[in-house]
Amino acid sequence: MTTDGTTPERTTPDRASTRSGPLAGLLVADFSRILAGPYASMLLADLGAEVVKVESPGGDDTRSWMPPVRETDDGTVSTYYLGINRNKRSVALDLKDADDLALAQELAQRADVMLENFRPGGLARFGLDYETVSATNPGVVYASISGFGSGPEGAKLPGYDLIVQAISGLMSLTGSPDGEPYRAGISVFDVMAGMHATIGTLAALNKRHETGRGQHVEVNLMSSALSGLVNQSSAYVASGTVPMRMGNSHPSLFPYEPLPCSDGDLIVTAGNDGQFRKLVGVLGVPELADDPRFRRNEDRTANRAELRPLLVERLATRPKDEWFREIIAAGVPCGPINTIEGGVAFAESVGLEPVVEVGEGAAMVPSVRHPIRLSETPPDYVLPPPRLDEHGAEIRAWLAQPTPPVETEEP
């Protein structure tokens, strides 16, 4: 291990020279599957890390999660899989096969980062758990993602996002007040856990610059959920208040919800008193800003049943697109309720360039741009999501080559 915490000559030569991102030169051994782990490793890969995606001979589960699909020269491919696996290379290894297991263990020994989401303790029988790997690769940052942690009780529980949405309380907050609970439209806690795993990995890599040693980063969906519930979980732990479903209403702000215009709903928000004054000015009822019932946010929230019909009366006189332009121009946040198609189109209209093309020719895959922009070392997009074992031969050959000994220097 070098004093700056990097491991020399461990990334494959053909890739080490092609990446220029802030994580270029780092090797990530990605033993994860489905969503949280692959999302985390894709974020790292976009920033320059060399990610080797280790799959079972059957492949990542999401390869078969269809529809929708993208048609390719090789047949149909799950768009779910495509959305979280660019910039990686795939090798299929059967950990129950002695030769394949030896290659997996060698990969773990060369890695700067190892990422896995097996059930806690599940990799110990293969000698791929943190204790075993770090004993001979002390610089490894080993990131584990589970459903409910590695404690005696949590480790027994399988972790699926929908289960965590239910158990954490999110579903109790989603839906109409008099209706049934609903799940979010995406696997929101898988995504949060993937981001938290990325943050933890980068924090551990930064510490490694000082100490030369890695550490075990543990993330679980349940903790990510409770953290991600922010004001709602804080309402309970800080005051004992148990939040419940309010449909599209906000417990602490008004207006902050869809309001009907003459041809459909428009999201209208007023996050502070100044924005409310601007809003009612645009609507032609400026006197509402000085009404004692609505002067402060807490007043508007307490008296929302009286204020809402007054706002709706004005909004109902014109189409939502007209109001959108005028309200936005006044500096008050508002927006239409789009489909995903509309969301992508809107992002394009404001210059965000949300879609990137990964790969060339028939192998090109449209993909959603990395969410972080860096002025000096931007993300890049060099590899489309790999076919199962697409890079197996070259990775096996590389792992079979001996690596030079690495000198350890005390910080």
CB 50 within 8 A of CB 67: no
Report the SS3 class of residue 9: coil
Q: How much is the pTM?
A: 0.92
Q: What is the mean pLDDT of each run of 10 residues along the chain (411 residues)?
A: 43 58 97 98 98 98 96 91 98 98 98 97 97 98 97 93 98 96 97 98 98 98 98 98 96 96 97 97 98 97 98 97 97 96 97 96 94 96 96 96 59 42
How far apart (Å, rounded) are the C-alpha atoms in residues 399 and 80? 30
How far apart (Å, rounded) are the C-alpha atoms in residues 398 and 13? 9
How far apart (Å, rounded) are the C-alpha atoms in residues 279 and 256? 12
Q: What is the pLDDT of residue 11?
A: 52
CB 155 within 8 A of CB 146: yes
Which H, E and C letters describe 350-387, residue by residue?
Answer: CCCCCEEEECCHHHCEEEECCCCCCCCCCCCCCCCCCC
Q: Where are the domains positioned within the chain?
A: 13-229+353-400, 256-348
Q: What is the pLDDT of residue 6?
A: 42
Q: What is the pLDDT of residue 16?
A: 45
Q: Which two tokens stand for residue 136?
A: 């001979």
Q: Which residues contact 169 (CB under 8 A, 6 or more apart)?
A: 229, 232, 233, 243
Q: What is the pLDDT of residue 405?
A: 55
What burial letters (b/e) apply to 108-123, b meaning 16+ CB within 10 Å? bbbbbbbbbbbebeeb
The residues annotated as belonging to the active site are 190
CB 114 within 8 A of CB 133: yes
CB 249 within 8 A of CB 304: yes
Q: What is the pLDDT of residue 403?
A: 75
Residue 50's DSSP bridge partners are 27
Q: What is the pLDDT of residue 409?
A: 43
Query: Domain 13-229+353-400 classified CATH 1.10.238.10?
Result: no
Query: Domain 256-348 classified CATH 3.30.1540.10?
Result: yes
Report the SS3 class of residue 1: coil
Long-range (24+ apart) CB contacts under 8 A made by 364-367 are 365/70, 365/82, 365/86, 367/82, 367/83, 367/86
How far apart (Å, rounded) are the C-alpha atoms in residues 294 and 256? 14
CB 104 within 8 A of CB 397: no
